[in-house]
Amino acid sequence: MNRDKVLQSIKGKLKLIYKQNYKTDYLDSLIELISKWEKANWAQNDQITQKNVYFITYGDSIYENGVPTLETLNKFLKDHVNGVITDVHLLPMFEYTSDDGFSVVDYRQIDANLGDWSHIHSFAKDFRMMYDFVANHLSKSSSWFQGYLNDEEQYKDFFIPHDENFDYSKVVRPRTSPLFHEYKGKNGLKTAWTTFSEDQVDVNPKSFSMLKELTDVILLYANKGASSIRLDAIGFLWKESGTNCMHLEETHEIIKLWRILLDYFKKDTQIITETNVPHKENISYLGNGTDEAHMVYQFALPPLVLHTMTTHDSSKLTSWAKTIDKVSETATYFNFLASHDGIGVRATEGILTDEERKALVDKVVENGGRVSYKNNTDGTQSVYELNINYFDALVNQAEDRTLDMKIKKMIAAHSILFSFIGVPAIYYNSLIGSTNDYKGLEQSGINRRINREKFEVSYIRDALVNDERRSKVFKSLSELIQLRQAESAFSPYASQKVVDLGPAFFALERENNQTGEKITFILNVTAEKKAVSAAIKGTNILNNVIIDGMVELEAYEFAWIKA
C-alpha cells in the first residue's frame, strides 16, 4: 500500500475510533509520527511457514551470576535449540514493579537485570523475536501515571478516573480485586481504573495523545527487531458505559490501525492477540483474515487437550476441531499448551459442561496445582484458570504410574500441538521437562509461579543430559519439531480436515494445496493399545512403517502418515 492509501486508511480508522469526537489534527499528528519513522532503517520479515516454532520464555528464565540474562539465554538457545526453535517470545522485558513483568514502568526501557537494547539486537541476529506489548495498562510507578497524579497537563487524560455517571454494571474482568483504586495525588486523592491490580493502571486510548504514544511504542518494537508483537490483554483496551468493556468496536479498529502501519513499515510483522475468552470472542480478532491480527491465541486447545488425555475420549476435541478452519493466506492460529499463565478454562464455555470443567479442577488440585477465579457480573465467582505445570496436569494418578508413561503422555499431548492448523508455541518449562515449582509458589504466594521456575544455566545444561525426565522430554520434543519442519503439509496456512475415528483416537488430515503434500495425524488418546481401520494409505514418517488401511497404536502412540 502506498503512502497516500495508508494515510487515507488511517483517517478512516481514526474516524471509526473517535466518531463524533474525531478532530482533523489527529490525522496531522499521526502523519508527523509516520514521517519520523520513515527516516528510520527498516529490516524486512520472512513469511511464516511450517518451520516457524515459537519458544515462550522470560528474559531471565536461564541465568548465570554476573552476566546479563538476555546474553545467557541467547547463548543457551543457540547451543541447544538452534535449528529447532525459530522464534523467541520474550515475555515483558521492560522495567516493571509487579506481576512478573506485566506492570511496565517504561515501555521503551529494557529491565537492567536482563540487559539492554544491544542484547536484544544481538538476540535478533540469531532468532526471530516476539515482544510483549502490555498495551492495556502501566505500572502506577510509570512516569505517565505519576504525571497524571501530579496533574501535569500532558497526562491529564492518560488514565480513567471513576465517573459516577458511568454504568459499570456489565463490566467483565478476570480478577476479584476492586475495579478502581485510590492514589495520593499532588492535589488530593485521585482514582484510576485497574482491571488487574492496584499496581496495574489501565491506559485511556480515548485520549488521542495516549493512542499516539501507544502507536509510537508498537512501531518502536517493530523497528528494534520484533518479527511478532503480542498484544497482551488487548480485549480490555476501550471502555464504554453500559457495556462489558471488552472487545469493543474501537479496540478492533485500533488493532486494524496498527496493522496498516506495520504492513506499511515492516510487512509480515505478526500481530498476535491474547484474549483469554470464549472461543467465538477470541477469533473475532482475526477480522476478515487480512486486516486485523495475523494470529490469535488458541485458548481452547490447552484445556481440551487436557480433557481428552484425562478422559481418554476425544469427542469434545474432535467436535470443536471441526469448527476450526483455514483463515486466509496470512492469518492463522497461535497454538500452545502451556504458558506463563495458567490453563485458561473460559474458552471451553459452550464446549465442556460444568461437570467436565469441575473434573479438570479436581484433577489439578489432586496433582498439586492451584485454581484461580474471576468475578462475575451477578456477584458470583467462577474458575478462570488452572495453575499447574502441564506435565503434572496430564498425569492420571491411578494409571500413569511410571516415568516412561508420563513422558509418553506429555509427548502425545504435544503431537496434537504440532499437528493442529496454525503455528506451534512451546513454553520453556515444557520443552525442558519441568514439573510443579512448589518452592516458587510457596515463597511468592502467587498461583502462577508454580509454572515459572527459573534455572541457573550450568544446572539446566547438565540436567538436559543427566536428568532422565528432562533429557527424554527435551530430546523427544526437539526431534518431533525438526521432523515437522520438513513437511509442508504442516504449513500454518495448509488446510485441515478432522477425521473422526471414534473417541479413542484424535485424527487430522493436513494438506498443502500448493505443494500437494498430505499428512494424516492419528493419536491413540487412551492408555491401552488400540487398532482402527480407516481408508488411509502411506508411510508413517515417525518410524517408516507402511500403513494400508489398518492403524495399530500403543498407549498414547501417534502416527504421521504421509500419502
Which among 498, 470, 367 has a CA at the least distance from the CA of 410?
Answer: 470
**530-554: buried (b, 16+ CB within 10 Å) or exposed (e) per residue?**
bebebebebebbeeeeebeeebebe
In the set 199, 202, 232, 392, the catalytic residue is 232
- Show the DSSP H helices in 224-350 as ranges: 249-265, 279-283, 301-311, 315-321
383, 328, 358: which is closest to 493 by C-alpha? 328
Q: Return d(Cα 47, Cα 56) in angstroms, integer.
A: 20
Beta strand pairing call for 423-427 and 54-57: parallel
**Does residue 232 have an active-site annotation?**
yes
**Residue 173 Cα to chain centre, angstroms:** 18
- Answer yes or no: are the C-beta atoms of 424 and 335 closer than 8 Å: yes
* Cα–Cα distance for residue pair 201/205, rounded to 1 Å: 13
Residue type for 266, please? K
Distance CA 81, CA 74 (A): 10
CA distance 477 to 413: 11
Q: Which long-range contacts (CB under 8 A, 24 or more apart) does 353-357 make?
A: 356/307, 356/311, 356/316, 357/303, 357/383
Closest C-alpha to 195, from 285, 276, 281: 276
CB 452 within 8 A of CB 440: yes
CA-closest candidate to residue 451, choices 341, 562, 293: 341
Alpha helices by DSSP H, 273-402: 279-283, 301-311, 315-321, 354-366, 390-394
CA-to-CA distance for 55 and 427, rounded, in angstroms? 6
Separation between Cα atoms, residue 258 and residue 17, nearest integer Å: 12
- Who contacts 404 (Cβ-Cβ below 8 Å, separation ≥6)? none
Which candidate, 342, 329, 89, places its Cα nearest to that of 226?
A: 89
Q: String of b and e for 480-489 (b: at least 16 CB within 10 Å)? A: bbeebbebbb
Asked if 450 and 437 touch (Cβ cutoff 8 Å), the reply is: yes
- Positions annotated as catalytic residues are 232
